[in-house]
Amino acid sequence: MKPAATTAAALATLALTAGCLPVTDTAAAPAEVAAALAALPITPEDTGFHYDRDDWPHWKTVHGTCNAREQALLDQGQGVRADDQCRPITGTWVSAYDGVTVTDASKLDIDHLVPLAQVARSGPIENGHRVGPRTWSRAERERYANDPDVLVVATARANRSKGDQDPAHWLPEQDRCGYAARWIETKTRYRLSIDQPEHDALAAVLARCP
C-alpha cells in the first residue's frame, strides 16, 4: 500500500475512534495511529497569535433548548434526566480522565480535548507563511468550540489540572492510548500542526500501547 493510502486508511479508522465517547475503547491499532502522527506537520507553536477565549464562541444551542455543554452531559452520562431547559438534574457520569464517578453535573467540566488555546497556536507553515487557525473565521472557531467529538466530560479537578497543556506536559490518568489517538485524530481532521515535544510525547505513549 502506498504511503498516502496508508495514511488515508489510518485516518478513516481514527475518524471512527473519535466518535467513541468518553476517551476510552479506542479501536485504532497503534501502527495506524502512528502513521497518522507521522503525517502531522511538526512546527513550533504559533506564539505570535493572540488567543482570546471570547473569540471562540462556545456552548451554542445545538438541539432544542440544549447547548453544546448540556448535550455533552446528556450524551456521555448514564440515566441522565434534564429539566425543560435541558439542564441535567440527575444522572451518573464517569470522568474520562481520572475514572471518578460523579452524580452531580455541577461538579463536572466539559473539556476541549485539544484545548482552544492549543488549537489557536497550532498553525503549520506553508510557503514560508503561517496558516491554520490564525486565519479561521469566527464561524470556523465556533465550529471547533462546539464540536461534540472534541468535548469530554471530566471532573473539575482533572480538567483544571490539564488546563491548556498538550501531551508533552499533561496526560490523563486513564486510557492514555485512547487520549493520544483522539488528540492525533483531532489535529489531523482540523489540519493542525504539532511541535516537537508534543510529537515525542505522543510517540512515547503509542510505543506503550498494546
d(CA 14, CA 7): 10
**Residue 183 CB neighbours (<10 A):** 25
d(CA 5, CA 114): 26
d(CA 201, CA 123): 19
**Closest listed residue to residue 18, CA positions, set 139, 134, 182:** 182
Question: What is the per-residue DSSP string for 22-60?
Answer: SS----S-HHHHHHHHHHS-B----TTS---GGGS--S-
Backbone angles phi, psi at 9, to 5 degrees: -65, -40
pLDDT in tens, 115-148: 999 999 999 999 999 999 999 999 999 999 999 9
pLDDT in tens, 25-72: 445 677 889 999 999 999 999 988 889 999 999 999 998 999 999 999
Instruction: Indicate whether this model's pTM tops 0.75.
Output: yes
**Residue 191 CB neighbours (<10 A):** 14
